[in-house]
């Protein structure tokens, strides 16, 4: 028995199923989870196990020696029959169904927003703690949005679902937050250089295919992006909003406010897809309340957890996505006083978005859960956080 009270909750959930249609009753779930005691060897499920993020989740659980008691792999009916390796064992992929969460303690979701909206509340009602990679719940005031190095303590007020941030936001905040702690950030202007793996496994295939087609002199076929991505850059990530920004671009401000507990933080961002397989980079121009020098910023960044400073321009040393791929830490460089902002600093940050922007961060959240050793404390989320419609 891993989750004594969680299981009691799941029995009650079964009884309620007929009339509640498995709707997430956050307040109720909170009461039960308050009493939960996390087992030291939880039964973990990966939902979307065959996807770009799911595969990295399985690898990260193994690499981090996460004390998995049992691992269940879930994906669509298309993947039933596939097997994925974990600790030398071939684990069969099962179809995601509403009854799949019986006995699951921690459910790592990475199967897209619509799957999360449908199944995460079901999993929470069955007694699992959901760590969700999609944007479905990120701006829900009842759901903590967590980067453990920044606001790990927020996992304590979860009510069954914890959200993982947008990948570009996560990579940016790894450098911005320590600077904010020291100099109080007012606003940023930024442009992202986002790898195709950020769109998922099919987009990695699309870039590979288009490169081959071009090399062979064939015409290019497009399935994922509206334009050719090979040898091109697309100033278009996610869908467009009425004001001309994309949903992805607004995640930096909205999620940044919630994670940093900084409700007046402003971010004007242009998100760009580039023909890089793995690791996102962001050029950031940040304005602070307090004066900032390159030396004082460097001293802060050198002490920041999960971050390396690579900043020796004379030796052509700066973070490169090619070398950030498969690295747990993000890297920051090109530090300079911003010549167009008061108290401004310009920098370039790069990080593997499949890791820090997704799988690694999710496993770190699970580690926080185990550390806190009790699901929830009855504390409130940070105030003044706007609730906005979630994108992908």
Asked if 280 is an active-site residue, the reply is yes
First to last CA, the chain: 35
Buried/exposed code over 207-246 (b: 16+ C-beta within 10 A; e: otherwise): bebbeeeeeeeeebeeebbeebbbeeebebbbeeeeeebb
DSSP 140-186: -TTS-B--HHHHGGGGGG-SSEEEPPPHHHHHHHHHHHHHHHHH-EE
Least distance (Å) between residue 332 CB and ligand NAP: 20
Q: Nearer Cβ to ligand NAP, position 172 or 353?
A: 353
Least distance (Å) between residue 254 CB and ligand NAP: 15
- Calpha distance 382→263 (Å, rounded): 9
Residue 252 C-alpha from the chain's centroid: 12
Contacts of 382 (CB under 8 A, 6+ apart): 154, 258, 261, 263
Contacts of 65 (CB under 8 A, 6+ apart): none
Residue nearest to ligand NAP as judged by C-beta position: 51
Q: Nearer Cβ to ligand NAP, position 10 or 50?
A: 50
Phi, psi of 290, deg, nearest 5: -100, 155
Q: Nearer Cβ to ligand NAP, position 174 or 346?
A: 174
User: In which element (H, E) is residue 310 found?
Assistant: none
- Torsion (CA) 355, 357, 361, 362 in degrees, nearest 10: -100
Applying CB under 6 A, the residues found at the interface with ligand NAP are: 48-54, 75-76, 78-79, 96, 110-113, 115, 133-134, 167, 197-198, 200-202, 353-354, 357-358, 392
Cβ(361)–Cβ(170) below 8 Å: yes
Least distance (Å) between residue 250 CB and ligand NAP: 15
Least distance (Å) between residue 234 CB and ligand NAP: 16
Least distance (Å) between residue 203 CB and ligand NAP: 8
Local structure of residue 96 (DSSP, 8 states): -
Q: Nearer Cβ to ligand NAP, position 148 or 375?
A: 148
Asked if 167 is an active-site residue, the reply is yes
Q: Nearer Cβ to ligand NAP, position 59 or 186?
A: 59
Single out the catalytic residue among 158, 167, 180, 262.
167
Least distance (Å) between residue 76 CB and ligand NAP: 3
Beta bridge partners of 106: 44, 129
Single out the catalytic residue among 43, 158, 262, 280.
280
Q: Nearer Cβ to ligand NAP, position 113 or 121?
A: 113
- Calpha distance 274→279 (Å, rounded): 10
**Edge-to-edge, what's the strand order for the sheet holding 161-163?**
83-86, 89-95, 70-75, 43-47, 106-109, 129-132, 161-163
Least distance (Å) between residue 186 CB and ligand NAP: 27
- Calpha distance 363→357 (Å, rounded): 11
Q: Nearer Cβ to ligand NAP, position 112 or 153?
A: 112
Which residues are identified as catalytic? 167, 280
């Amino acid at each position: 028995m891993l989750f004594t009270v969680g299981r009691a909750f799941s029995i009650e959930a079964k009884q309620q199923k007929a009339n509640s249609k498995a709707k997430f009753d956050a307040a109720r779930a909170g009461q039960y989870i308050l009493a939960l005691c996390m087992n030291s060897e939880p039964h973990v499920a990966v939902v979307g196990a065959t996807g770009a993020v799911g595969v990295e989740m399985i690898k990260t659980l193994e690499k981090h020696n996460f004390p998995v008691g049992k691992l269940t792999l879930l994906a669509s009916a298309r993947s039933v029959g596939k097997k994925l390796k974990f600790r030398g064992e071939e684990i069969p992929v099962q179809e995601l169904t509403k009854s799949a969460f019986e006995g699951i303690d921690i459910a790592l979701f990475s199967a897209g927003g619509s799957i999360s909206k449908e199944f995460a509340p079901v999993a929470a009602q069955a007694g699992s703690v959901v760590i969700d990679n999609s944007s479905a719940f990120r701006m829900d005031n009842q759901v903590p949005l967590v980067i453990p190095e920044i606001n790990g303590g927020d996992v304590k007020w979860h009510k069954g679902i914890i959200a993982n941030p947008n990948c570009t936001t996560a990579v940016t905040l790894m450098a911005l937050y320590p600077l904010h702690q020291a100099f109080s950030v007012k606003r940023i202007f930024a442009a992202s250089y986002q790898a195709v793996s950020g769109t998922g496994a099919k987009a990695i295939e699309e870039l590979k295919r288009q490169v081959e087609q071009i090399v062979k002199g064939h015409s290019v076929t497009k399935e994922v992006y509206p334009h050719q991505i090979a040898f091109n850059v697309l100033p278009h990530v996610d869908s467009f909003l009425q004001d001309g920004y994309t949903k992805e671009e607004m995640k930096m401000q909205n999620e940044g406010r919630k994670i940093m507990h900084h409700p007046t933080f402003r971010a004007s961002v242009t998100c760009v897809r580039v023909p890089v397989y793995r690791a996102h980079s962001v050029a950031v121009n940040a304005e602070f309340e307090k004066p900032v020098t390159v030396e004082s910023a460097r001293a802060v960044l050198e002490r920041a957890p999960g971050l390396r400073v690579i900043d020796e321009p004379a030796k052509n040393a700066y973070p490169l996505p090619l070398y950030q791929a498969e690295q747990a830490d993000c890297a920051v460089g090109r530090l300079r006083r911003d010549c167009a902002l008061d108290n401004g600093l310009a920098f370039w940050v790069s990080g593997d978005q499949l890791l820090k922007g997704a799988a690694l961060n999710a496993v770190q959240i699970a580690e926080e859960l185990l550390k806190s050793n009790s699901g929830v404390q009855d504390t409130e989320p940070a105030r003044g956080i706007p609730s906005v419609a979630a994108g992908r």
